[in-house]
Structure 1
Amino acid sequence: MSTSPFDLTGRLAVVTGASRGIGRAIAHALAQAGADIIGVSANLESSGSEVEKEVTATGHTFEAIQTDFADPTAVTALSQDLAGRTRPIDILINNAGTIRRTPAADHSDTDWNHVLQVNLTAQFTLTRALGARMIARGYGKIIFTASLLSYQGGITVPGYTATKHAIAGLTKALANEWAPHGVNVNAIAPGYITTDNTQALRDDPQRNAAILGRIPAARWGTPHDLTGATIFLASDAAAYVHGTILPIDGGWLAR
């Protein structure tokens, strides 16, 4: 039997936005640490996905659930399903997210409302349901995906920035209430990571150069760079860590 505080054997983790990028990397890493995985994404295949293959190759189980976080009714149904299961959820990774890039003066209500629903309201709906079960059990790990734009304003992404500031605040608010009940609520704040959301920045030579010029590590991060911190926060090694937003940014905020 492992005595490592980072061992997740026997734990069940829900990872939203699991079909690609950060979510896929985290799902695989949690499985490598011992957890069974429920992957949730709007476009996740019911079987045969790449993330499923990676998880099951570790010897752990994978269940795919297709849910569009832009649909409040679907998110409520997902929340009720997961909260009502016999096997409880031990770890919730709130990673699903979207972005709309438009100058603020031209940012439509449609884009604004869409980003707030996916990045904030859906996150709260799911966390509220699973968090209540965790409180009743006296155990749980909840990890949000915040952002460097939880600290800064960004450019042409007013809706995204508003949600990521809100996620940082929500992380702290829930930690204040739920820490006494054995539930750890924290967040990781990725820096500039090579995902679909940053493709436009990497394709712009001037923006790409400006971003790289400020990162002390002198490179874009990869989804794998986020996995160690996530395993830490999901494990008993972080039993006394509550309400923290942990930047994983190659030194960006220190510059």
Structure 2
Amino acid sequence: MNLHGLRVVVTGAGRGTGRTLALAFAERGAHVVVSARDQAAAGRTAELVAAGGSGSAEAHRCDLADPDSVRGFAAALADRTDRIDVLVNNGANYLPGAGLDDASDDDIVATIAGAATGTVLLTRHLLPLLRASDRPDVVNLISACGEPGHHRSEAHPAYYAAKHAQAGFADILSHRLRAEGIRVISLYPPDFVQDGPRGAGDPLTARSVVECVLFAVGQPRDCFIQEFHFEQV
């Protein structure tokens, strides 16, 4: 798949799945805007893109739990480009713990603010740049924790709350933006591993999740894939 010339924003791209997403888009020729709470981590991902020899990248700091940081990041992009073709809302802090008392108040606030409020605000502020594209996509890496009736993750209840908020936002956004030709694509993977074998009985890997994103983004514009749901072993 050739994505040459596409301008792609990936949040939470300083490590893990976000970094894998950024590298995958760049390998196919895209220019990737890498954002992360840690500027050094974002810069490392951009360096890996440069070392790969395909596509290009720039690194930015963006703390999704801080509205001022979100607004500053969006303003910086508006100063640097006239459009965004793909926004990947990947950034979210995983919070473990079965009981409400297993996390501090600050951790709970940061989890919900980053995944829920941060996703809404960043999408809002980047929407003018998406509307300037002739093939705009918004991709949301949600989680099976955002599915009704899902109880299999070891995540904290606040993480479930954040992911349900993201799911509700993605659903209404897809409905309201479709008439403009903006596709809103959401993925609901169960807890998965970054690396490992990819057989039928193995845990889902980040690479498989990333390939679903690339597949959806690469479809013709008459193809609106709203959601990916996954069987869990």
Structure 1 residues 2-56: Cα deviation after superposition (integer angstroms, max 9, x where no partner): xxxx431110101111111111111111112221111001124278614532455
Greater mean deviation of Cα atoms: 24-33 or 219-228:
219-228
Q: What SS does structure 2 have at the residue aligned with 1:131?
A: helix
2:36 maps to which residue? 41
1:217 counterpart letter in structure 2: A
Q: For 1:87 and 1:19, how far apart are their aligned partners in 2?
A: 24
2:4 maps to which residue? 9
1:229 maps to which residue? 212
2:87 counterpart letter in structure 1: L
1:189 maps to which residue? 188
Map residues 52-71 of structure 1 onto 2, 5 A cutoff: 52-54=47-49, 56-71=51-66
Q: What SS does structure 2 have at the residue aligned with 1:45?
A: helix
Is the Cα–Cα contact under 8 Å of residues 64 and 113 in structure 2 kept in the other structure? yes
Q: Give the deviation of 1:67 after TM superposition.
A: 2.0
Is the Cα–Cα contact under 8 Å of residues 95 and 158 in structure 2 kept in the other structure? yes
Q: For 2:181 and 2:53, how far apart are their aligned partners in 1?
A: 29
1:182 counterpart letter in structure 2: G
User: How many residues align structurally?
Assistant: 226
2:187 counterpart letter in structure 1: I
Higher relative contact order (CA 8 A, sep 6+): 1
2:228 maps to which residue? 246
Q: Give the deviation of 1:228 after TM superposition.
A: 1.4
Residues 28 and 43 (structure 1 numbering): CA distance in 2 closer, same or farther, change over 3 Å? same
TM-score normalised by length of structure 2:
0.86
Q: For 2:166 and 2:81, how far apart are their aligned partners in 1?
A: 29
Is the Cα–Cα contact under 8 Å of residues 140 and 182 in structure 1 kept in the other structure? yes
Residues 137 and 10 (structure 1 numbering): CA distance in 2 closer, same or farther, change over 3 Å? closer
1:77 maps to which residue? 72
Q: What SS does structure 2 have at the residue aligned with 1:64?
A: strand
- Which residue of the other structure, out of 90, 99, 109, is the alignment partner of 2:94? 99
Is the Cα–Cα contact under 8 Å of residues 27 and 39 in structure 1 kept in the other structure? yes
Unaligned runs of 5+ in 2: none
Greater mean deviation of Cα atoms: 186-195 or 138-147:
186-195
Q: What SS does structure 1 have at the residue aligned with 2:106?
A: helix
Are 1:90 and 2:73 counterparts? no
Greater Cα radius of gyration, structure 1 or 2:
1
Q: Percent identity over the alignment? A: 27
Q: What SS does structure 2 have at the residue aligned with 1:98?
A: coil
Q: For 1:7 and 1:70, how far apart are their aligned partners in 2?
A: 34
1:164 maps to which residue? 163
1:212 maps to which residue? none
Structure 1 residues 158-181: Cα deviation after superposition (integer angstroms, max 9, x where no partner): 111111112122111111111111
Residues 47 and 169 (structure 1 numbering): CA distance in 2 closer, same or farther, change over 3 Å? closer
Map residues 111-122 of structure 1 onto 2, 5 A cutoff: 111-122=107-118
Is the Cα–Cα contact under 8 Å of residues 20 and 51 in structure 1 kept in the other structure? no
Q: Give the deviation of 1:142 after TM superposition.
A: 0.6
Is the Cα–Cα contact under 8 Å of residues 84 and 132 in structure 2 kept in the other structure? no
Q: For 2:221 and 2:202, how far apart are their aligned partners in 1?
A: 28
TM-score normalised by length of structure 1:
0.79
2:159 counterpart letter in structure 1: Y
Residues 103 and 47 (structure 1 numbering): CA distance in 2 closer, same or farther, change over 3 Å? closer
Residues 104 and 83 (structure 1 numbering): CA distance in 2 closer, same or farther, change over 3 Å? farther
1:127 maps to which residue? 123
Is the Cα–Cα contact under 8 Å of residues 68 and 74 in structure 1 kept in the other structure? yes
2:162 counterpart letter in structure 1: T
Q: For 1:20 and 1:182, how far apart are their aligned partners in 2?
A: 31
Q: For 1:47 and 1:144, how far apart are their aligned partners in 2?
A: 19
Is the Cα–Cα contact under 8 Å of residues 139 and 181 in structure 1 kept in the other structure? no
